[in-house]
Structure 1
Amino acid sequence: MHSDTINSVLVVGGGTAGWLTAAKLAKSFNSLDGNSIQVCLIESPDIPTIGVGEGTWPTMRATLASLGIDEAEFLRTCHGTFKQGTKFINWQNASRPNQYHHLFTSIFDPTQFNLAPYWLQGDAGDLPYAQAVSAQARIAELGLAPKKITSKAYEGIQNYAYHLDAGKFAELLKSHAIDKLGVKFIAANVTDVSLDAEGYIEAVVTDTWGTVAADFFVDCSGFRSLLLGEALGVGFTSIADTLLTDHAVTIQVPYPDAAGPINACTHSTAQEAGWIWDIGLSNRRGVGYVYSSRHQSHEDAERTLRDYIGDAAAGLTARKLKIDLGYRNKFWHKNCVAIGLSAAFVEPLEASAIFLIEAAGNMLVDQLPSRRQGLIHAEKKFNASFHFRWQKTVDFIKMHYLLSGRSEAFWLDNREASSIPASLAQTLASWQQQVVSAYDFPHVYEPFPMESYQYVLYGMGFKPEQVNWQRYPLHAEAMAQFEKVQQVTEYLIKELPQQRDLLDRIYQYGFSTI
């Protein structure tokens, strides 16, 4: 007989998704108090964790702070560095060098004063869009940090996220969740799932711990989707006909000089059949090639990656991963919600994986009902919200490929009309008539804000064709704003330290006034 009250939550699967979700639940429901909701996590001792990525969004700062994790400890433990956006290299075409930045910080809020129409009319001269509206493009190019040693933890002079070692991050979350937040941990393999007469999960069966019952279950079992997919039979929608990359090959590259510079943003370099990420941690670079096996063999893909790395790749081991692009038809069903790879996965182009884990954990904490009869309402809201968020994420990533002028087969196939979501096609058509504005983003849970679209659209050379420019008469004001951006940029270049120098001091001293 099931309990009508939700007093216990069982998370199946560890990694970033499992431990971050367990930590959020335990923190919010005060699992250290024996009278509150108890959180337990089962993790297999035999299955290696699949790292969902080494890049985060700025939201991670609030997440870590809310869990009570010290920023300096996090950076040290996870070989963490500061990320200030992404630099896209050779995405526009393959015939001549080109680049643009998708940043985290603009000087002015575009929903208050939208500088894009004035940049499009030439009021910023020949400056690239990112440099015209933000100091962060040049700061990142120079390898500068977004803050000083005197900055408070989790606060920055420029907005920032992190690059991190995903394995080390999961370990940090695990120890913090168990030792500080009261999460119970079971190391075992789940061998079966028991359902009650109404089709709700009542328990999981393990190989070494027997049967483990709970009132609510979180599926963080990775691509297998052990609970939501296998036990509850929720189907999977592939998006392989929209996003064409289906494999990745990765290599960890040591620095030739342990005291050398660290990239201040992710580098994303377009290739014949995909793109290469290059992420700077404090102790190494994480480099990987995301590609389409329909357009390039696995052997050629690995050769492409090694050519990109150069002589340093000699003797280094490459790891190949298959990517299942798509999402579950429902993310929450009855008394089970899937978070992480068990729910959905899109390619890592915009580092959305960990952000969507954060977002799912936040909504679960806010919407988990106290009684079983409330599950149906929470399920409906959660599924509607995350179908919207995943579709928007797919559209945003696809837009990068759609705007490219590269002529290799992979890139041409990405621009085939049959591969373009109707929602994206309609949006881009509207932006031929109107510049991007706040009216295009009415939903409170848009995963990518207005600024993100502007950075990518105008960085890639998108120009609206039929805008009535007479509605933008504030040329003098706009030019003054563009000038102010350049003044702030020059000031910050003098004030901010090199990323490596700041991290060395944080690793040694933490944040202080020394």
Structure 2
Amino acid sequence: MSKIINNIVIIGGGAAGWLTAGLLAKEHPHLHITLIESADIGISGVGEGTWPSMRNTLQRIGVKETDFLYQCDASFKQGSKFINWRGEQQGDNYYHPFMIPEGYYEYDVHTAWKQLFSHQKYADAMNMQSFICQAALAPKQINTPQYAGVTNYGYHLDAHKFARFLTQHCVNTLNVKHIVDNVICANNDEQGYIKSVSTQHNGAITGDLFIDCSGSQGLLIAKHYQIPFLDQSHILFNNTAVAAQIPYESQSQNIASATLSTAQSAGWIWDIGLPTRRGIGYTFSDKYCDEASAIETLKSYAAQTIGTQQADTIETRTLRFTPGYREIFWHKNCVAIGMSQGFIEPLEASALAMVELSISMLSEQMPVDQDHMQLLSTRFNKRFKYRWEQVINFLKLHYVLSNRDDNGYWHANRNPNSIPLELQNLLTLWQYQAPSRFDLVENEEIFSSASYQYVLYGMGFETSLTTKLDGQKCHKAEQLYQLNRNKIAQYLQKLPTNRLLLEQLQGSKVAT
């Protein structure tokens, strides 16, 4: 008889480990879940942006949104703003909002835009959310139910506080066993499945399913099982980031409702607004920029808002990574989730989204025994190989479309030899027709065809108008456009700023 799955052991904490523990403990209360994390290994703390899917994940785990916002120094994120990506003209920008274009499933919105509204930027014409972001507004009002909003939203958060918040919830509410110790090695049974991990102070910890959330070191998937890593630095070149935390000019300053992404000569700078501070970082390729120059660039960026004197004193830390992913992600009774599975770069906040997709699939298809596990692992590996390939295609798209020529970095990104064949074929296809659901085959794509449209047309890509909307569809498009204009005016007047809503929510929490 195949071995029944009763005991799950998670190696590594951080967001990946504790999100995994939380979801599995909440949705499978009959399972015994143990999380082992080292006191000697810190949290990378780079993944401070999420997708809207995080709302569903937190609900499934069973936490209150107000508790999460308050304890994780979190704010509302409604998309990304890309600055100076098209070229070097200062201030040129476009939005990739979280809401899909109005009428997206009713008619060809790209044709509607080109035929009727091409005097406006694509996101501005087909969606209201860019206006909400530009005004630094929140996605809802104080009386809106938790996890609901009039616009689609995710979060910006403090990664360290998020991990602590999840730890307390998992241990105190969901009965996850927490062991702080160093894992020395893993021990196999006669069939090559892991039967236990040896720890420095707690001896051998046995389990039936082991989940590797140990970060890029991959204690189980890489060091124990020697699963190869597929380096993708021939496609996406960024491999280093210098990061810093900086203050607001004043505590009344607006909190940005989008991640700000500003292109630089050898990469790009992220700028994330939290209630108490901003998190900024320059991610770049060390082939085209050295660390000292990157730090100087980041400080110059900070000086634009906090002044040169204060910018010169900020402390930076350097993070190095190799873009890529594992050849397989589920081997025997070991599943890799988080950076042990793969990491490409911070652009478009794909890291936490991939964690959520991984734990959601694992929870919804939890193996009963080892025979069941073999079938599920094959499906999991196929699904996530495809997803990593799609992450690479979507991120590469941002670089391929740029006209910047201030550094060999941007020229190299446009070199056809660095562009995946699938993306090359899609770019050719998209000269004739806009991205659609027919281009993406999975039922849970990490980036939808609407996201591709926002980036393509935000970057100035041209798709031929081979047909035009008929009179009925034109009338429908014009109606939705006007409805959108009315919503913009209404929401700009009635929605609070990001900061004001967070202060109101904090005040109501303290009052109760």
Scaled to the shorter chain, the TM-score interval is: over 0.9
User: Residue type matched to 1:497 in 2?
Assistant: P
TM-superposed deviation, 1:439: 2.1
Match of 1:158 in 2: 151
Contact 2:299 2:311 in 1 (8 A): yes
Match of 2:166 in 1: 173
Match of 2:361 in 1: 363
List alignment gaps of at least 5 residues for structure 2: none
1:86 equivalenced with 2:86 (yes/no): no
C-alpha distance in 1 between matches for 2:369 and 2:144: 44
Match of 1:264 in 2: 257
Runs of 4+ in 1 over 4 A off after TM superposition: none
C-alpha distance in 2 between matches for 1:496 and 1:19: 33
Match of 1:379 in 2: 377
**1:242-296 alpha-carbon deviations (Å, 9 max, x no partner):** 0000100001001121122111110000000000000000000000000010001
Give the 3 Å change call, closer, same or farther, for CA 439–65 of structure 1 in structure 2.
same
SS in 2 for 1:255: coil
TM-superposed deviation, 1:108: 2.1
SS in 1 for 2:226: coil
Match of 1:455 in 2: 454
Match of 1:233 in 2: 226
Match of 1:66 in 2: 60
Contact 1:107 1:485 in 2 (8 A): no
Give the 3 Å change call, closer, same or farther, for CA 159–382 of structure 1 in structure 2.
same
Between the aligned residues of both structures, percent identity stands at: 40
TM-superposed deviation, 1:511: 11
Match of 1:429 in 2: 428
C-alpha distance in 2 between matches for 1:314 and 1:258: 21
1:494 equivalenced with 2:493 (yes/no): yes
TM-superposed deviation, 1:96: 4.4
1:115 equivalenced with 2:109 (yes/no): yes
Contact 1:135 1:489 in 2 (8 A): yes
Aligned residue pairs: how many?
A: 505
Match of 2:69 in 1: 75
C-alpha distance in 2 between matches for 1:125 and 1:192: 60
Instruction: Report the TM-score when normalising by structure 2.
Output: 0.96
Give the 3 Å change call, closer, same or farther, for CA 107–417 of structure 1 in structure 2.
closer
User: Residue type matched to 2:38 in 1?
Assistant: S
Match of 1:319 in 2: 317
C-alpha distance in 1 between matches for 2:18 and 2:87: 41
- Report the more deviating stretch, 220-229 or 365-374: 365-374
User: Residue type matched to 1:355 in 2?
Assistant: A
Give the 3 Å change call, closer, same or farther, for CA 470–493 of structure 1 in structure 2.
closer
C-alpha distance in 1 between matches for 2:249 and 2:56: 34
1:298 equivalenced with 2:291 (yes/no): yes
Match of 1:506 in 2: 505
Match of 2:26 in 1: 27
Match of 1:211 in 2: 204
Which of 30, 50, 55 lines up with 2:49 in the alignment? 55
SS in 2 for 1:423: helix
TM-superposed deviation, 1:163: 0.2
C-alpha distance in 1 between matches for 2:103 and 2:447: 15
- Report the more deviating stretch, 19-28 or 473-482: 473-482
1:144 equivalenced with 2:140 (yes/no): no
Give the 3 Å change call, closer, same or farther, for CA 96–47 of structure 1 in structure 2.
closer
Match of 1:475 in 2: 474
User: Residue type matched to 1:432 in 2?
Assistant: Q
Match of 2:15 in 1: 16
C-alpha distance in 1 between matches for 2:101 and 2:429: 26
Give the 3 Å change call, closer, same or farther, for CA 207–109 of structure 1 in structure 2.
farther
User: Residue type matched to 1:162 in 2?
Assistant: Y
C-alpha distance in 2 between matches for 1:225 and 1:143: 39
Instruction: Report the TM-score when normalising by structure 1.
Output: 0.96
C-alpha distance in 2 between matches for 1:29 and 1:65: 15
TM-superposed deviation, 1:395: 0.3
